[in-house]
Amino acid sequence: MSDPLFKALADPTRRVILDELTQKDGQTLFEICGRLTMKHGLGSSRQAISQHLAVLEEAGLVTTRREGRYKFHHLDTTPLRSIVERWPIQ
Amino acid sequence: MLTINVTSVFVDDQAKALAFYTDVLGFVKKTDVPAGGARWLTVVSPAAPDGVELLLEPDGHPAAKPFKEALVSDGIPFTSFAVEDVQAEYERLTAAGVRFVQEPTDLGPVVTAVFDDTCGNLIQIASEKG
C-alpha cells in the first residue's frame, strides 16, 4: 500500500481531475485546465494543475503519452485495487 | 477610437498555410502582396469579407518556433475561431483529414474543440450555447 496513492486522493482538485479523466480519457493539459475552470470554477494556474498531475502520476493514477507533438494524460485506476485488497468489500 | 482589423497566426510556410486556411477551413484570401522575402497574406471569413483579417505571418523569428512548440506541448490553442456548431465543424473537418487533439467538449457556457492547423499551431473552435 503506497502512501503516494492516499496523498494523491486526499486533494479535492486532484479528485476532480480524476473525475474528468473518467468522463473522457486522454486529455491535453489545456483541456484539463479548461474543464476545471469552466465546469468546476477551479481557477488554478496551469502550473498548479501540472503539479497536481505530477502527484497523480507519481501515484500511478495518471500516465502520459506523447503522440507526435502532443501530450495526452490518461487515467489508470489499477492502483485503486490495492485499497479493496487491503479492506475488502464484502 | 481603435478598431481591430487584423490578427495573426505564425505559420511555418505561407503557401501551405494559405491552402489549409482556404481549401480546408473555408476562409477566403483577401490580401496577398510581397513584403520583403515574405507576403502580406491575409484571409477572411466568407461570412464577413470586410471583417477582421487573419494574417498568415511567417514564423521565421528565432523566438517564434520555440513559442509555438511550447504551446502545442501543453495543448494550448493560441488562436480561437467562432463556429455555429462545433460538432458539425468537427465532423466536416475530420472528414477533410484534419487532426483534432480535443474532440467537442461541453464546458458549460461553451462547446469547444481543438485541432492542428498543420502549420505549427493548435486552433480552438468554439460556439456559445444559447
Residues A2-44: tens digit of each pLDDT: 589 999 999 999 999 999 999 999 999 999 999 999 999 998 9
Grid coordinates standing for B50? 470586410
Res B12: pLDDT: 97
Q: Is the pLDDT of residue A1 over 70?
A: no
Q: Which chain A positions have a beta carbon within 8 Å of B101's beta carbon?
A: 28, 70, 72
Res A89: pLDDT: 87
Q: Which residues contact A57 (CB under 8 A, 6 or more apart)?
A: A63, A64
Q: Which residues contact A54 (CB under 8 A, 6 or more apart)?
A: none
User: From the list A29, A39, A71, which residue is nearest B107 (CB)?
Assistant: A39
Res A19: pLDDT: 98
State which CATH number among 1.20.120.1200, 3.20.20.140, 3.10.180.10, 3.40.50.150 fits the domain covering B6-60+68-128: 3.10.180.10
Which residues of chain B register pLDDT less than 50? Answer: none
| Rounded CA separation B112/B96 (Å) | 19
Q: For A51-86, write each residue's pLDDT tens digit.
A: 999 999 999 999 999 999 999 999 999 999 999 999
> Minimal Cα distance from B109: which residue of A?
A38
Q: Is residue A28 within 8 Å of residue A70, measured between CB atoms?
A: yes
Res A2: pLDDT: 59
- For residue B124, give the nearest of B45, A83, B116 by alpha carbon: B116
Task: Report the CATH number that the domain containing residue A46 is assigned in CATH.
Answer: 1.10.10.10
Question: Mean pLDDT in chain A?
Answer: 94
Q: Is residue A75 within 8 Å of residue A26, measured between CB atoms?
A: no
| Rounded CA separation B120/B10 (Å) | 8
| Total domains present in chain A | 1
Give the torsion sign (CA, A46, B110, B97, B63): negative
For A29, the domain range is 4-86
User: From the list B101, B112, B116, which residue is nearest A34 (CB)?
Assistant: B112
> Minimal Cα distance from B78: which residue of A?
A30
* Other beta carbons within 10 Å of B112: 22
